[in-house]
Amino acid sequence: MIINKLQIQLLINNQEVGTTTYTEIRDPGCLTDIVGEVAVGNALHVDQAVNSAHQAYQAWRKTDVAERSSLLLEAASILEADIDTYVHIIARESGMLPPVVRAEINSAALLIRNTVEEAQTFFEPKQVEDADSWVSLERKPIGVIVGIVPWNAPVILAMHKLAPALICGNTIVFKPSPHAPLGISMMIQAIAKLFPPGVINIVHGGSDVGSALTTHPLVRKISFTGGAIVAKSVMKDAANSLKRILFELGGNDPAIVLDDANLQDIMPKLVTDIFRRSGQFCFAVKRVYVPQNMYNTFFDLMCQAVDQFKIGYQLDERSTFGPVNNANQYTYVKELIERTKRSGAKIVELGQILEPDHWNEGYYLRPVIVRDPDPYQEIVTCEQFGPVIPLIPYRTEQEAIDMANDTEYGLGSSIWSSDFERAIRFSREIEAGMTFINQNGSSKLGAKHIPFGGVKWDRSRSIRGIL
Ligand code: NAD
């Protein structure tokens, strides 16, 4: 099914609710195309949605895990059943390549099933007794959860919140990102129909709606994925009513290449892990540390690999590199590259432009490699969240470790080496929630067993953090 123009409403108590304001969602790869429009809510809608979730909670909390599990398994199947429609809409509204969206939806279905599997033992009460007393430890739901998600991976991030909240007997109110609200809302609306009214609700909007949710007195917990700046406001807003918070925030993942790495072997994977989703990924590699004596060879090889990218419209089957998602991100990354140029670091713009005549019709940026930056200049220390990567030379292992750790970010990291034992030893020196070897991303096994999250500013702990 191909849908050309969509209008997405709020979802309150399983009713679609229209509002007086609608925002057009344009295709970031072709800005003249409107993919759909979305109803924008306000504080009154937030109050209605939270109250509906609170009412629904009174009965939903008493359902048993078997019933919740079977509904969630149906939800996973719904994602897969209509996957072609979702892939098309999300690719158009987000700028992501269709295979990337498809893989994300499949991972989201897997995540739901993993959560259900984990729940089968998670809720077993533990009872202990001695001569004087008897103790029973039982896990209980906590009430209404708010899920706030960004635009760059809307499906997996929403399901990170939905599956754990519901399996525990909580109810949920979502606020999708205004930059990719259509596909994820269609999915959540389809899933919501499986559940009693009020268990799943959606209110669209920006920071005002976000703030109305995070200050609402009936909300017990906030599960927020986004950047550090917004996270600070969320923390302040949540403080008045002392809500629990789960954060999954941005990253500045270092990749450290050791001097025994086979550069030809690692380069394709490293380049993929830097530039996936045009660099707009929380645990993409965001800076690379390279031994001084390998620097020139490494730089040349990386330039060759990056130059293979075909930059173009995300639905053009020839494209391997799509546009960035929105005007803010586009301007921010462009200006960052300009400031880096002015700093004296060498900038190389690469990749093949498929349709030069259409270049200015979307948020297109070429992938950029930054040579010889100062190790502490902005392009190295910020979360660029776009297609630009700094390469920093190092002389000693300790220097590489110190530079990698000298940051407030602590989400992911990676070590690239031909010697697995050495890489493991090295990885234990890195201050990050996750350190990968010869990749910067999870396998199916990792997705099931690694508690997703980080240290320092990246405070999240678990993909199943609400459990
Ligand atoms: P953002 O922080 O600007 O926005 C995130 C969400 O918060 C959006 O839905 C936004 O509308 C909402 N929001 C804005 N102001 C709010 C407020 N005052 N109160 C409540 N909600 C508010 O992030 P973004 O630009 O959408 O996404 C990019 C960021 O997300 C990057 O930093 C990226 O690293 C991070 N991210 C982290 C993870 C992770 O799992 N660690 C995954 C993906 C993205």
Check pocket membership of 21 for ligand 1, CB cut-off 6 A: no
Check pocket membership of 255 for ligand 1, CB cut-off 6 A: no
User: Any bridge partners for residue 253, and if so which?
Assistant: 285
Q: Are 391 and 298 in contact (CB under 8 A)?
A: yes
Tokens of 362: 């979307």
Check pocket membership of 210 for ligand 1, CB cut-off 6 A: yes
Closest C-alpha to 175, from 208, 197, 142: 208
Check pocket membership of 327 for ligand 1, CB cut-off 6 A: no
Pairing between strand 352-353 and 171-175? unpaired
CA–CA separation, 362 and 359 (whole Å): 7
Q: Are 350 and 320 in contact (CB under 8 A)?
A: no
CB atoms within 10 A of CB 405: 15
CA–CA separation, 285 and 266 (whole Å): 13
30 assigned to active site:
no
Q: Are 419 and 437 in contact (CB under 8 A)?
A: no
Catalytic position from the list 282, 338, 361, 383 = 282
Q: Are 74 and 194 in contact (CB under 8 A)?
A: yes
| C-alpha 251 – ligand 1 centre gap (Å) | 12
| Number of the ligand 1 atom closest to the C-alpha atom of 176 | 9
CA–CA separation, 93 and 359 (whole Å): 18
| C-alpha 235 – ligand 1 centre gap (Å) | 13
Catalytic position from the list 93, 104, 248, 383 = 248
Check pocket membership of 304 for ligand 1, CB cut-off 6 A: no
DSSP string, 149-185: --SSSHHHHHHHHHHHHHHTT-EEEEE--TTS-HHHH
Atom 21 of ligand 1, nearest CA residue: 210
Closest C-alpha to 275, from 313, 348, 228, 324: 324
| C-alpha 179 – ligand 1 centre gap (Å) | 11
**CB-count exposure of residue 289 (10 Å: 0-12, 13-18, 19+):** buried
| Number of the ligand 1 atom closest to the C-alpha atom of 250 | 34
| Number of the ligand 1 atom closest to the C-alpha atom of 454 | 41
CA–CA separation, 208 and 214 (whole Å): 10
Check pocket membership of 174 for ligand 1, CB cut-off 6 A: no
**pLDDT at residue 466 in the model:** 47
16 assigned to active site:
no
Tokens of 29: 């790869």
CA–CA separation, 90 and 79 (whole Å): 13
Check pocket membership of 247 for ligand 1, CB cut-off 6 A: no
Furthest C-alpha separation in the chain:
82
CB atoms within 10 A of CB 73: 14
Mutate to test the pocket of ligand 1, among 185, 219, 282, 325 (most ligand atoms within 8 A of CB): 282
Q: Are 312 and 355 in contact (CB under 8 A)?
A: yes
- Give residue 436's identity as a one-letter amino acid code: F
CB atoms within 10 A of CB 74: 14
**pLDDT at residue 464 in the model:** 47
| Number of the ligand 1 atom closest to the C-alpha atom of 248 | 41
Check pocket membership of 363 for ligand 1, CB cut-off 6 A: no
Query: Residue 357 contacts by C-beta under 8 Å, 6 or more apart in sequence?
Result: none
Q: What is the mean pLDDT of each run of 10 residues along the chain (467 residues)?
A: 75 98 98 98 98 98 97 98 98 98 97 95 94 96 97 96 97 98 98 98 98 98 95 95 93 97 98 97 96 98 98 98 98 98 96 97 98 97 97 98 96 97 97 95 85 80 47
**pLDDT at residue 293 in the model:** 98
CA distances from 267 to 288, 371, 388 (A): 12, 16, 16
CA–CA separation, 270 and 192 (whole Å): 39
CA–CA separation, 307 and 1 (whole Å): 36
Q: Are 293 and 263 in contact (CB under 8 A)?
A: no
Atom 4 of ligand 1, nearest CA residue: 226
CA–CA separation, 441 and 439 (whole Å): 6
Helix axes 65-81, 154-167, angle to 10 degrees: 160
Check pocket membership of 383 for ligand 1, CB cut-off 6 A: yes
CB atoms within 10 A of CB 285: 28
